């Protein structure tokens, strides 16, 4: 290993996380786990991505995996042993190591319920580090993502400290602080077998009886990042801090915000085979009409290229500002305005959008499902995309929208604030329409401002469309910020 290090100055980065496009994705974490490793490879890093080998991974990928080895690993108190298989797949220079274990990963979906997920991700975190040692591949940095991998920094400084991988530095990225991996201390203690002092207040302990994986991971990580600068500040306040604001303020010296990008090949209107018509900045205005007509036809909406189509692509949860949308949907929709919703989640939101579809037939479509292809078609066929989130660590949908020449309408929070410059009608600058107060009437005003430019000053709207397509939303700049950080942590 030492010899290899001398000859090779490339940084070795291990990614550990619970989802990654195209194998399994439920939200933005899956996109980042796909795109950031690819961007780091461009910057001459050596990257391996560690993922659970879930049953739901499409067969075509499973067939391409190659067996790298297997071993038994202690996990729980009392030394229960578990099988760890390593199945490997190489795609575009990135090595994906899937951790195989039937007992933990044979369910259809990645996430089940927290009681079952705590053992599952304890196993996964420990097995990923054990697999690095097994393969004799020692990373410089282990980059962990969200609560599912938050035990990794703890394991690195406890069980694995005297082993080769113990030399690595850890980075823990918060993609969404709302999810933390909390359960009773005895359950966590049993499954993780982590030393007793880690269950004290400075680390995992929360309230009287609970252990919190995220809290412990934040304390043990060498560096904490989150996915925008604004969110990095927000999570240190009571409103956004999800009960960890004081803990984060205490650790703020090692907390930085680095905004997400998107993979500009995966999201490329010039080559996107899922679109009715591909387009570039030069012909977006014409071709968007063709995409709009195709979308309207597919979704049973009145076909008319002159109508304003507002898209919404989202997990249906209260994080996403859907209460605001629900409160004003009847007023947004009119003879010239249509709304398309793609999402799944909370049944209350699913049902309310279905209801609006039924009362506004031909003007509203509620497509209650997860559908990657339709998402592409909505990004291309809509004129504007609604992202009125209550909180938004970064948000990717506004970035994808801009890349597809679709104007974002966003609340100024987290990454939405950092990535969408408000339209200024005096200077004719900006990328989208924004609002601040979490209030339905304020969103309504904001949408009306967008409508008045769309219907009254189309030339200015079209200029904004082209301006948005020209914005650099790629990973390039942010990936080099991560690389600088890795270098600072391990010179």
Q: Which of 41, 172, 214, 396 binds ligand ADP (CB under 6 A)?
A: 396
Binding of ligand ADP by 397 (CB under 6 A): yes
Contact (Cβ atoms closer than 8 angstroms) between residue 468 and residue 407: yes
Q: Which of 118, 313, 322, 443 binds ligand ADP (CB under 6 A)?
A: 313
Q: Which residues contact 135 (CB under 8 A, 6 or more apart)?
A: 68, 69, 86, 97
Minimum CB–partner distance for residue 107 and ligand ADP (Å): 20
Minimum CB–partner distance for residue 97 and ligand ADP (Å): 23
Q: Of the listed pieces 58-66, 231-239, 339-347, 351-359, which binds ligand ADP according to CB under 6 A?
A: 339-347
Q: Of the listed pieces 151-159, 270-278, 331-339, 369-377, which binds ligand ADP according to CB under 6 A?
A: 369-377
Cα distance between residue 395 and residue 400, in whole Å: 10
Minimum CB–partner distance for residue 108 and ligand ADP (Å): 17
Minimum CB–partner distance for residue 21 and ligand ADP (Å): 8
Q: What angle do CA 421, 425, 426 make, to 5 degrees?
A: 110
Q: Supply the DSSP symbol for 222.
A: S
From the CB of residue 255, how many other CB atoms can be counted at a distance below 10 Å? Answer: 20
Residue 436 tokens read as 């601040």
Q: Which is nearer to ligand ADP, 52 or 415 (CB)?
A: 415
Q: Which of 85, 257, 261, 343 binds ligand ADP (CB under 6 A)?
A: 343
Cα distance between residue 481 and residue 446, in whole Å: 34
Q: Supply the DSSP symbol for 235.
A: T
Q: Of the listed pieces 294-302, 342-350, 402-410, 438-446, which binds ligand ADP according to CB under 6 A?
A: 342-350
Q: Of the listed pieces 6-14, 276-284, 366-374, 474-482, which binds ligand ADP according to CB under 6 A?
A: 366-374
3-class SS of residue 384: strand
Q: Which is nearer to ligand ADP, 122 or 226 (CB)?
A: 226
Q: Which neighbouring-strand residues pair with 173?
A: 145, 225
Radius of gyration of the chain from Cα atoms?
23
Minimum CB–partner distance for residue 183 and ligand ADP (Å): 23
Q: Which of 81, 305, 372, 437 binds ligand ADP (CB under 6 A)?
A: 372
Which residue's entry shows tokens 């992202």? Answer: 387
Residue 465 tokens read as 């469309």
Minimum CB–partner distance for residue 384 and ligand ADP (Å): 15
3-class SS of residue 149: helix
| Residues within window 24-83 making contact with ligand ADP, judged by CB under 6 A | 27-29, 31
Q: Which is nearer to ligand ADP, 376 or 467 (CB)?
A: 376
Q: What angle do CA 131, 255, 202 make, to 5 degrees?
A: 75
Contact (Cβ atoms closer than 8 angstroms) between residue 482 and residue 40: yes
Cα distance between residue 398 and residue 403, in whole Å: 9
Q: Which is nearer to ligand ADP, 150 or 390 (CB)?
A: 390
Q: Which is nearer to ligand ADP, 135 or 471 (CB)?
A: 471
Binding of ligand ADP by 371 (CB under 6 A): yes
Q: Which of 370, 481, 489, 490 binds ligand ADP (CB under 6 A)?
A: 370
443: left (phi over 0), alpha (psi -120 to 50) or beta: alpha
Residue nearest to ligand ADP (CB): 28
Binding of ligand ADP by 342 (CB under 6 A): yes
Q: Which is nearer to ligand ADP, 132 or 387 (CB)?
A: 387
Minimum CB–partner distance for residue 392 and ligand ADP (Å): 7
Q: Which of 344, 421, 428, 480 binds ligand ADP (CB under 6 A)?
A: 344
Full DSSP string of 243-303: T-HHHHHHTGGGEEE------TTTS-TTT-TTSSS---TTTHHHHHHHHHHHHHHHHT---
Minimum CB–partner distance for residue 1 and ligand ADP (Å): 36
Over the window 5 to 34, marking each residue x when it contacts ligand ADP by CB under 6 A and - when it does not, the resulting string is: ----------------------xxx-x---
Q: Which of 236, 314, 413, 474 binds ligand ADP (CB under 6 A)?
A: 314
Q: Which of 261, 395, 405, 432 binds ligand ADP (CB under 6 A)?
A: 395
Q: Which of 68, 157, 315, 490 binds ligand ADP (CB under 6 A)?
A: 315
Cα distance between residue 310 and residue 390, in whole Å: 19
Contact (Cβ atoms closer than 8 angstroms) between residue 313 and residue 325: no
Cis check: omega of the bond before 22, within 30 degrees of 0: yes
Residue 125 tokens read as 């975190």
Minimum CB–partner distance for residue 312 and ligand ADP (Å): 9
Cα distance between residue 56 and residue 107, in whole Å: 8
Cα distance between residue 260 and residue 28, in whole Å: 10
Q: Which is nearer to ligand ADP, 28 or 153 (CB)?
A: 28
Q: Which neighbouring-strand residues pair with 166?
A: none
Contact (Cβ atoms closer than 8 angstroms) between residue 32 and residue 478: no
Q: Which is nearer to ligand ADP, 167 or 344 (CB)?
A: 344
Return residues touching ligand ADP (CB under 6 A).
Answer: 27-29, 31, 313-315, 342-344, 370-372, 375, 394-397
């Amino acid at each position: 290993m030492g010899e290899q290090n001398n000859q090779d100055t490339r940084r070795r980065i291990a990614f550990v996380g619970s989802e990654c496009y195209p194998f399994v994705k439920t939200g933005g974490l899956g996109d980042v786990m796909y795109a950031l490793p690819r961007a780091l490879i461009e910057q001459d890093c050596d990257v391996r991505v560690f993922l659970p080998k879930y049953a739901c991974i499409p067969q075509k990928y499973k067939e391409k995996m190659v067996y790298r080895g297997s071993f038994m690993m202690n996990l729980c108190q009392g030394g229960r042993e578990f099988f760890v298989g390593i199945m490997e797949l190489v795609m575009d220079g990135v090595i994906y190591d899937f951790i195989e274990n039937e007992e933990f990963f044979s369910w259809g979906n990645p996430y089940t319920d927290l009681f079952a997920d705590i053992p599952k991700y304890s196993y996964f975190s420990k097995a990923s580090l054990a697999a690095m040692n097994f393969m004799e591949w020692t990373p410089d940095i282990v980059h962990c993502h969200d609560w599912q991998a938050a035990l990794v920094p703890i394991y690195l400084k406890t069980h694995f400290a005297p082993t080769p991988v113990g030399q690595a530095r850890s980075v823990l990225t918060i993609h969404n602080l709302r999810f933390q991996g909390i359960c009773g201390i005895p359950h966590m203690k049993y499954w993780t077998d982590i030393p007793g002092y880690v269950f004290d207040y400075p680390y995992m302990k929360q309230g009287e009886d609970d252990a919190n994986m995220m809290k412990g991971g934040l304390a043990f990580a060498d560096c904490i990042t989150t996915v925008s600068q604004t969110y990095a500040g927000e999570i240190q306040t009571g409103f956004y801090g999800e009960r960890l604001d004081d803990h984060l303020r205490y650790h703020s010296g090692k907390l930085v915000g680095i905004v997400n990008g998107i993979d500009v090949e995966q999201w490329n209107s010039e080559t996107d085979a899922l679109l009715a018509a591909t387009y570039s900045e030069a012909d977006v205005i014409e071709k968007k009409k063709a995409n709009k007509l195709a979308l309207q036809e597919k979704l049973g909406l009145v076909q008319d290229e002159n109508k304003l189509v507002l898209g919404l692509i989202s997990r249906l949860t209260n994080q996403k500002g859907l209460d605001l949308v629900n409160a004003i949907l009847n007023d947004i929709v009119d003879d010239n305005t249509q709304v398309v919703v793609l999402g799944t989640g909370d049944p209350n939101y699913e049902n309310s959008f279905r209801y609006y579809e039924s009362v506004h037939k031909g003007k509203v479509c509620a497509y209650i499902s997860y559908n990657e292809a339709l998402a592409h078609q909505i990004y291309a066929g809509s004129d504007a995309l609604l992202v009125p989130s209550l909180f938004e660590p970064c948000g990717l949908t506004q970035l994808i929208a801009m890349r597809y020449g679709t104007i974002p309408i966003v609340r100024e929070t987290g990454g939405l604030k950092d990535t969408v410059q408000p339209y200024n009608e005096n200077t004719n600058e900006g990328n989208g329409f924004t609002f601040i107060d979490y209030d339905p009437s304020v969103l309504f005003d904001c949408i009306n401002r967008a409508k008045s430019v769309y219907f009254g000053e189309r030339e200015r709207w079209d200029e904004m469309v082209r301006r948005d397509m020209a914005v650099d939303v790629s990973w390039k700049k942010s990936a080099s910020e991560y690389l600088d950080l890795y270098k600072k942590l391990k010179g």
